[in-house]
Structure 1
């Protein structure tokens, strides 16, 4: 505790503004628990950049932790791009303080002689990713905490390829930041180097999105699709309606109560389209309007949730694996019809996503590539393989990226792709749900479930660490009565075959992930979240669907198997 107190007292100097000093002094005098949580560690970069609770302290998002990051990045940019005109673009979401933080970050960059482009108001993350390359910047910053609770904010860093930071730049930048003191931050802005963007970049992005997802459907086919959309109080209200209008989708209803940006996300418990509750208002409106689709996005507009009509004409929320598989099928099938698939094409997904992605992709004779969780790794696959042509790809956490004009998950373009697929299927007398069942019949019925255990604060971090140690030291020998035959440990890049006792290296960067495979293809992955105080368990089971008439029966059997696995692993309440 003395170390924490020393760290806190360092914030009582004139390096920090009077309000910050007063808040820190109040914590020291009245709230030891909050003091400990605010200073016990330095906020780290995770899979989606840096996220945390807003407040004073080294473990909080504030002017000084963001300023130190920005100063470190400024120093690094000068060292690695010594003969270039340095440029950065900044965007921000609807969260409390996002706009203020964005301008504070802009001040630091400009104080270091770096040209800054900043959006005039909230805009979605994929537009920021696009803008980096479009404007010829070496770096981009997005102020957002994605779908985290209202008390959070965050700082995503993009590099010159438009993707988020990956090795070696991430470690080098972190070293640069860690070498700094808060006294090293230069907040003295140079107004001449800060330019507020007009609408031209956004308009070009929307045109590119339409071009990437244009399958020559007729106007009548598009008009026949009835869509309900909610931005869940976030940024995508600035882009999705414009995009659908530009693409010819006129039949769009907005959930007006959720169209207004709101940092408290007052109409939902969580602004996360992974949660069924988040789309309740959209589904309610969709039922009133007899919509074919109900669609929602997270606050920074990179994740999407889709509800489609099932065989009973009820709107049901698809999970991230299902939407990813459907979008991948549509892209591959359209390219096959056009005879445009080549040996250079590839589809990408992540190690915790459904195995059906590999099965489906390889059935079309296309290369499948896998990465760690997080779209920065998919962007890295594109960057590291310039001889290959990226088609599309996604991850189970409701993210998808169509083409490589954006280098991060993009709910805008993905929504347009879903609408194209749904409209065409409807014109053929079929549905998205019918097509999903057909994919299961043709390629295997894979069903997934995600369990997230929330563990907050210092004690929670220790619990997560101990849980991963236990899983490594005492791995299960059986899962749901099936022998575990393979264990992949990404922390040491080793895969061990439990039958032959042979090990082989995993050619993917190290990460704190464990995956168990059984003799029947059941897959269970465990990993601490890189953006939230959670440990996540990803369960995948599968079976053969011989006839579509057996879908409901087999669906229940797979659900039952998942529940058995959750009980065995102690993941149920």
Structure 2
């Protein structure tokens, strides 16, 4: 195949002595044996998306390797020194269980130290939320974690955190990206100053566990003794902290899935280490049936997201979705704050535009505010930073992430695991269960049912196909879906909300983002959004109805399920 001239120009740069011999040899092999792979590796530069920079490992500008990460780190070093000119700049670095995460973390540490920046580097893999905590605990200016979350084994990634413990947000992310893009690869300083690299481990672990206990402990010792838990780390980093945290909290009946307890970047026992998918928790739910467990909890490889399975009214293990666990945890926290007379009306919870509207109902019921941001926990962290006079209670998003308090400024499956165990233990002690508590919430606030469809579109052609799907949705907006009129279309890229019944337009207050949301006259909500970290376009559906009695749950659920299916069919997504 003919390779585009602009790609060959990039390739030729990587065949110069600024790049090591192995990299050059691999590229030469690709030029003859795998020109398509060569094109995919160089047709663009890796971009900062929803969760930082994430991609396939290998040589090339569109791949994760020592040079793309080195360049990002050199640019970040320059930006940090410019931002804090009269201080000894400090950064913290963590990494997960993926292949090359440890060596890439050391490369990043080397570049920071070569630029005179003090580095705190974890001596072994650690959960991502511990990096956010450590950054603040050690009074650092920035932090990096090497992770690709639940992506396939060939992926890795680079997430950047700032002084407040949250990920980068505009306009700062754009300024840093411009600094990085202005650099040439031969400007990267890889010559480490080992005197500036300090390894950290148990002291930070102990401080993080103490913080989690303070933020998520609400239940009596007797109740904890009765809860039967199955936990799986899905070959990831949470094995480093979660068992110790649960033991410190007083949970003595914890069964760990041994086959998945050993960190392994190949994730050999699952198709995908994604706790959103029931298959990922299959071994855990099988163990739960053997030991008659009340609850199953599984975390993704970097331990920022958790999947929770509980027994339904037929004693079957069912996986809750991210909206359901978010609502359960938020309601529980609000109840605890109310019982302790801590609610003043100056508190808030956080959510995102693609998550359940039920969060708004909870906030209204407790007389507080629900702030709603774009997808990604960096926006919830920004809320805490932007509104220092208000107190953050908790918040989450539909993608199985939750944040308890503000000690960690990112989704935190470690502390959230403890919190969900606290809720389950209390419920069981009161003759209830997590599942029954969820049904109670539906009778009180309305039954909100959410569904997600992800369409994978890989490579250059896939990216173009996703782009065209969003263009079509914008230029040819649907006026009716499943027999229901579209009453409002929010276009976050244009920054407008248009009422299709009156043709009136309003300005949206959130930053620009490639997201479209349709609202139907029956209260249904449909969101289309290209993923910021994977080659996917995602469609989020939310429908709702009243549930006057838990005995009617199945019939109401069946009606809502049918409504979602009809919407999906009407949009030709299946």
Name the TM-score class by shorter chain.
over 0.9
- The aligned residue for residue 91 of structure 1 is 94
The question of 1:33 aligning with 2:36 is answered yes
- The aligned residue for residue 557 of structure 1 is 559
User: What pairs with 1:495-514 in structure 2 (closer than 5 Å)?
Assistant: 495-514=497-516
The question of 1:126 aligning with 2:137 is answered no
Pick aligned residue for 2:75 from 51, 72, 75: 72
TM-score, normalising length from structure 1? 0.99
Q: Take 1:446 and 1:228, find their aligned partners in 2: how far apart are those partners?
A: 28
Pick aligned residue for 1:101 from 91, 101, 104: 104
Where structure 2 has 5 or more consecutive residues not aligned to the other structure, the ranges are none
Pick aligned residue for 2:436 from 434, 455, 463: 434
How far did residue 213 of structure 1 move?
1.0
Kept in 2: contact 1:309–1:316 (CA 8 A)? yes
Kept in 1: contact 2:55–2:64 (CA 8 A)? yes
- The aligned residue for residue 233 of structure 1 is 235
- The aligned residue for residue 461 of structure 2 is 459
How far did residue 340 of structure 1 move?
1.3
How far did residue 242 of structure 1 move?
0.6
How far did residue 198 of structure 1 move?
3.3
Q: Take 2:262 and 2:111, find their aligned partners in 1: how far apart are those partners?
A: 30
Q: Take 1:214 and 1:253, find their aligned partners in 2: how far apart are those partners?
A: 20
Q: What is the CA deviation profile of residues 343-375 of structure 1, one whole-angstrom value per residue up to 9, with x for unaligned ones?
A: 210000000001111112211111110000000
Pick aligned residue for 2:253 from 251, 254, 279: 251
- The aligned residue for residue 11 of structure 2 is 8
Kept in 1: contact 2:451–2:541 (CA 8 A)? yes
Secondary structure class of the residue paired with 1:12:
coil
Secondary structure class of the residue paired with 2:315:
coil
- The aligned residue for residue 163 of structure 2 is 160
- The aligned residue for residue 404 of structure 2 is 402
User: What pairs with 1:421-500 in structure 2 (closer than 5 Å)?
Assistant: 421-500=423-502
- The aligned residue for residue 148 of structure 2 is 145
How far did residue 30 of structure 1 move?
1.8
Q: What is the CA deviation profile of residues 183-222 of structure 1, one whole-angstrom value per residue up to 9, with x for unaligned ones?
A: 000000001001111311110010010001121x221110
TM-score, normalising length from structure 2? 0.99
- The aligned residue for residue 54 of structure 1 is 57
Q: How many residues align?
A: 571
Q: Take 2:418 and 2:431, find their aligned partners in 1: how far apart are those partners?
A: 20
How far did residue 446 of structure 1 move?
0.6
Kept in 1: contact 2:457–2:466 (CA 8 A)? yes
Kept in 1: contact 2:295–2:311 (CA 8 A)? yes
Kept in 1: contact 2:229–2:296 (CA 8 A)? yes
Q: What is the CA deviation profile of residues 135-160 of structure 1, one whole-angstrom value per residue up to 9, with x for unaligned ones?
A: 01001000000000000000000000
Q: What is the CA deviation profile of residues 228-265 of structure 1, one whole-angstrom value per residue up to 9, with x for unaligned ones?
A: 00000000000100110111111100000000001100
Secondary structure class of the residue paired with 1:43:
coil
Q: Take 2:483 and 2:277, find their aligned partners in 1: how far apart are those partners?
A: 30
Q: Take 1:275 and 1:243, find their aligned partners in 2: how far apart are those partners?
A: 25
Secondary structure class of the residue paired with 1:500:
coil
Pick aligned residue for 1:377 from 362, 376, 379: 379
User: What pairs with 1:164-313 in structure 2 (closer than 5 Å)?
Assistant: 164-215=167-218, 217-313=219-315
- The aligned residue for residue 114 of structure 1 is 117
Pick aligned residue for 1:347 from 333, 346, 349: 349
Secondary structure class of the residue paired with 2:509:
coil
- Could you list the structure 1 runs, at least 4 aligned residues long, displaced by more than 2 angstroms after superposition: none
How far did residue 431 of structure 1 move?
0.7
Kept in 2: contact 1:213–1:413 (CA 8 A)? yes
Pick aligned residue for 1:414 from 410, 413, 416: 416
Kept in 2: contact 1:240–1:412 (CA 8 A)? yes
Segment drifting more, 156-165 vs 553-562: 553-562
Q: Take 2:395 and 2:20, find their aligned partners in 1: how far apart are those partners?
A: 45
Q: What is the CA deviation profile of residues 512-546 of structure 1, one whole-angstrom value per residue up to 9, with x for unaligned ones?
A: 00000011110000000000000000000111111
Pick aligned residue for 1:314 from 313, 316, 335: 316
Secondary structure class of the residue paired with 1:267:
coil
Q: Take 1:486 and 1:198, find their aligned partners in 2: how far apart are those partners?
A: 51
Pick aligned residue for 1:543 from 542, 545, 556: 545
